[in-house]
Amino acid sequence: MLVLSRQKNEAIMIGDDVEITVVDIRGDRVRLGITAPQSVRVHRKEVYEAIRRENIEASRTKIEDLSALDKLIGGPEKPGDKDKEQNGEK
Amino acid sequence: MLIETPRFGKLEVDEEKVISFPEGLLGFRDFKRYVFHDPSGKGILLWMQSVDVPTLAFVVADPRLLKQDYEVKVTAAQLEGLDISDPSQAQVWVILTIPEDPTKMTANLQGPLVVNPGRRLGAQVVLNEEGVTTKHPVLEGLKAQGRAPGA
């Protein structure tokens, strides 16, 4: 891993169009400003990891029949509307 | 197209209802095609079945049923690949995690699925704001909203 020292208001460039600026440093908390093209997705790593882990856990469900769960949740105001919307029924 | 699934047996899939997730789901980058399957026809909880991997399926729900004030705040950039010009076109789903005790099921409100049904494109988006979680307790959440489970 490349390790660089930066002070407040200093920045680093990653490639030609990603810029990361140290906006503020307070105690053990650093605020970073990130300028990147729209196609570059920027996330807090722990959030990204949490969603990835949750997807994996969700995919491992052993449940096969959802109707019991439907009852636990209770229906929408007008059952069936969503279904029609979803399936594009005429 | 026929998919032989462990859960539903042979599932006939209309190719025109297949939703493509060009970037897959987080942790499932390689699997990009899914179909919504609603065996009960109630439209409350649905399966999102992978077309590519018959064993892979997620339980999804309309988040507004779970949390009335749920909002997905995303940038135009996050929806760029979905060709959504009008946000009202978009459908939003959240994935449920259902453990052995289903009363402890949780909803991933932090990584919702946004779908453009017209173009049959979808993406899992990452919400960065505080206050949303990957493990929203579904039944407790309903109680907190004054909707008793089973009502």
Mean pLDDT, contiguous 10-residue spans, chain B (151 residues): 89 93 94 92 90 95 91 80 84 96 95 95 90 93 74 47
Give the per-residue pLDDT at B149.
55
CB contact under 8 A, B42 and A75: yes
- By DSSP bridging, strand B121-124 and strand B57-61 are unpaired
On chain A, the residues whose CB falls within 8 A of the CB of B12 are none
B-interface mutation test, from A17, A56, A61, A78, most B Cβ less than 10 A away: A61
Q: How far is B57 from chain A (nearest CA, A)?
A: 6
CB contact under 8 A, B59 and A54: no
d(Cα A11, Cα A33) in Å, to the nearest integer? 9
CB contact under 8 A, B96 and A87: no
* H, E, C per residue of chain B: CEEEECCCEEEECCHHHCEECCCCECCECCCCEEEEECCCCCCCEEEEEECCCCCCEEEEECHHHHCCCCCCCCCHHHHHHHCCCCHHHCEEEEEEECCCCHHHCEECCCCCEEEECCCCEEEECCCCCCCCCCCEEHHHHHHHCCCCCCC
Give the per-residue pLDDT at A79.
44
Give the per-residue pLDDT at A75.
56
B134: nearest CB among A54, A72, A86: A54
Residues in CB range of B70: below 8 A, 6 or more apart = B63, B64, B109
The overall average pLDDT reported for chain B is 90
Task: State mean pLDDT over A8-30.
Answer: 97
Read off the pLDDT band of A90 (50, 70, 90): very low
The helix (run of H) or strand (run of E) holding residue A45 is: helix A45-59
Q: How many CB atoms lie within 10 A of CB A72?
A: 16
Cα Rg of chain A, angstroms: 23
The helix (run of H) or strand (run of E) holding residue A71 is: helix A67-73
Give the per-residue pLDDT at B30.
96
How much is the ipTM here?
A: 0.91
Query: Is residue A46 within 8 angstroms of chain B, CB to CB?
Result: no
CB contact under 8 A, A68 and B98: no
pLDDT digits (tens, 9 = 90+) for B43-77: 889 999 999 999 999 999 999 989 988 988 887 77
Q: pTM (2 decimals)?
A: 0.84
- Percent helix / strand / coil, chain A, rounded to 5: 30, 20, 45
d(Cα B35, Cα A74) in Å, to the nearest integer? 24
The helix (run of H) or strand (run of E) holding residue A34 is: strand A29-35
pLDDT digits (tens, 9 = 90+) for A20-62: 999 999 999 999 999 998 778 888 899 999 999 999 999 999 8
B44: nearest CB among A43, A52, A76: A76
pLDDT digits (tens, 9 = 90+) for A57-88: 999 998 888 888 888 887 554 444 444 444 44
Q: Cα-flanking dihedrals φ and ψ of residue B115, to 5°? A: -125, 135
